[in-house]
Structure 1
Amino acid sequence: MYETDQETNLFLVKRAKKGSTEAFAELYEQIYIDLYRFALYTMGHKQDAEDAVSETVIAAYENLPQLRNEKAFHAWIFKILVNICNKKLRQKVERPIEERPEESEHPDYAQAYDVKNAFQELSEEEREIVGLTVFGGYTSLELGQMLGINSNTVRSKRSRALDKLSKKLKF
Structure 2
Amino acid sequence: MKSLKALVKKAKRGDGEAFVSLVKQYEDVLYRTASRLLNNDEDVADAMQEAIISAYERLHTLKNDEYFNTWICKILINKCNSLLNKNKSFSTVDVHVLPDQNNDDFQKIELEDALNSLNKDYRLAFILYYIVGLNIREMSEFLKEPEGTIKSRLSRGKSILRNNYYRKEAIVNEY
* Fold-level similarity (TM above 0.5): yes
- Do 2:39 and 2:89's aligned partners in 1 also have CA atoms closer than 8 Å? no
**What is the rounded CA distance, in whole Å, between the counterparts of 1:162 and 1:110 in structure 2?**
20
**What is the rounded CA distance, in whole Å, between the counterparts of 2:47 and 2:35 in structure 1?**
9
Task: Describe the shift of the 1:87–1:152 C-alpha distance in structure 2 as closer, same or farther (beyond 3 A).
Answer: same
Does residue 1:27 correspond to 2:16, yes or no?
no
Cα shift at 1:22 = 0.8
- Do 2:38 and 2:84's aligned partners in 1 also have CA atoms closer than 8 Å? yes
Does residue 1:9 correspond to 2:7, yes or no?
no
Does residue 1:152 correspond to 2:148, yes or no?
yes
Does residue 1:69 correspond to 2:64, yes or no?
yes
Q: What number of residue pairs does the alignment pair up?
A: 155
Pairwise CA RMSD: 2.4
SS in 2 for 1:135: helix
5+ long unaligned stretches in structure 1: 96-106
Q: Which residue of 1 aligns with 2:159?
A: 163
Cα shift at 1:27 = 0.8
Alpha-carbon displacement from aligned partner over 1:115-144 (angstroms, at most 9, x marks no partner): 444433322222221111112111111111
Percent identity for Structure 1 against Structure 2: 32
**What is the rounded CA distance, in whole Å, between the counterparts of 2:78 and 2:37 in structure 1?**
11
Cα shift at 1:167 = 5.2
Task: Describe the shift of the 1:130–1:14 C-alpha distance in structure 2 as closer, same or farther (beyond 3 A).
Answer: same
Please, what TM-score do these two structures have when normalized by structure 1? Answer: 0.78
Task: Describe the shift of the 1:71–1:47 C-alpha distance in structure 2 as closer, same or farther (beyond 3 A).
Answer: same
Does residue 1:60 correspond to 2:55, yes or no?
yes
**What is the rounded CA distance, in whole Å, between the counterparts of 1:94 and 1:153 in structure 2?**
27
Pairing of 1:85-104 with structure 2 (within 5 A): 85-93=80-88
Please, what TM-score do these two structures have when normalized by structure 2? Answer: 0.77
